[in-house]
Each structure stands twice: as structure tokens, then as C-alpha cells.
Amino acid sequence: MNTLNTYRSLKQRRHVRLVFFVILGLGLLMSGCGSDADRLPKMGVAPDFTLEDVTGKPYQFHQDAGKVRLLSFIYTTCPTECPAMTHWMLVVQKELKAKGIGPDQVQFYSITFDPEVDTPEVMEDFIHRFKYQDEPIDEDYWRLLRGSVEATRQVAQDFHLLVQPLDDGTFIHSDKVILVDKEGEIRYLYNGSNLPVEDVIRDMSALVK
């Protein structure tokens, strides 16, 4: 009797384990059925703003509605985070271009919060220091934006990013890179100084569709 009961108990346990793994497998399969875009939460509408490009022409953020957008806030004398962010964003830009995704579909932004130092010429010089596979940025994909100190820092504040000037001319600042979809919804905040390039390429490609 004990042997029979033991056999039945083992059989029941195997059955329970089998059911568990079947349910788990179905759950994983179903979670994979959604698109990459579906897994990016909508985090609120991105604030609209007006700044200037490096030619001095006014630029309003909603002009690029219909494009998937990737924004960074920088200053050109930054010793660490800003060069890293810019480099990794360039890698993303080049890889998207290689996939056939054009500047009519995606847009990249470098917005300075130190416009007193970052003149248009300084910003142009800064951005052209960066190369990926010996190629510089494609200017059609990229907007370099600036404005008054008050205006640019207000834009950063509207995106809930920290910008704190220090006495030595450097800044304590957020290194977040912001993903905005075609409808103007914020979809993700990435760690910019260690940007997960493959994730960003996947996410932007999904939102383009």
C-alpha cells in the first residue's frame, strides 16, 4: 500500500510540474507575441519648446512630429558623460541609416544648456569630432539646438532633468537620453553615458513602423 501511494504521489507531482511548465511556456510565448513598441510604456507627452539651430533659425520641437526622436542635453566642455552620450547616439544613427531608416523617419538632438560657451561654431566643432567607422555624423539626421541660458535650462527642467552649474564652469547634470515617438509621447529614458545601443536601435526601429 505504501509503495502504491508513493507511486501515485510521484505521478501527481510529475503531472503538476508538467502543467506548470506548459503554462510557463505559453506565458512566454504570449509575451513574445507583442511588438517591441508595445513593450515601451507611454510616459507622457513630451513638452514642446522653441530654441534655435546653429544657423540662428528658430526651431520648434513639434516641427518633427511624425518622426521618432532621440534627445540629449549636453555642454561641449563636459569631460565625461556628454562625449559618451554623443558617441553612442552617433553609433545608433549610423546603424539606423544602414538599415534604410532615413532622416524623414528619425531625428537626433544635441541641446546645450551652456549656450554662453557653446556658440554655434563651438557646437559644430564639437559634434564633428565624433566619427563611427571613420564617418562623421549625417547632418540631415541631427539637430544642434541652443537658446538663452534661461530657455535651454527651462527645457531641461520641463523634461525633469537635473542641470546644476558649479563654480568651476562644469555642471552636475542628468545623463538621460530621451526617446520620443511619432505622436510626441515619451517612451523611454536611457542611461546616456552607457547607452544600450542595440536596445535603442530595436526600440527606434519598432516605433518607426
- Binding-site positions for Cu cation: 78, 82, 173
Question: Is residue 85 helix, strand or coil?
Answer: helix
Angle at 156 between CA 102 and CA 83, to 5 degrees: 60
User: Per the structure block, which three cell numbers stand in for 104?
Assistant: 524623414
- Sign of the Cα torsion 62, 64, 65, 68 reads negative
Tell how far CA 160 is from the center of its chain. Answer: 15
165: left (phi over 0), alpha (psi -120 to 50) or beta: beta
Q: Binding site: which residues?
A: 78, 82, 173
User: Which residues neighbour 168 within 8 Å (Cβ) at sequence distance 6 or greater?
Assistant: none
| Integer CA distances (angstroms), 123 to 76, 139, 146, 148, 175, in order | 7, 13, 9, 15, 18
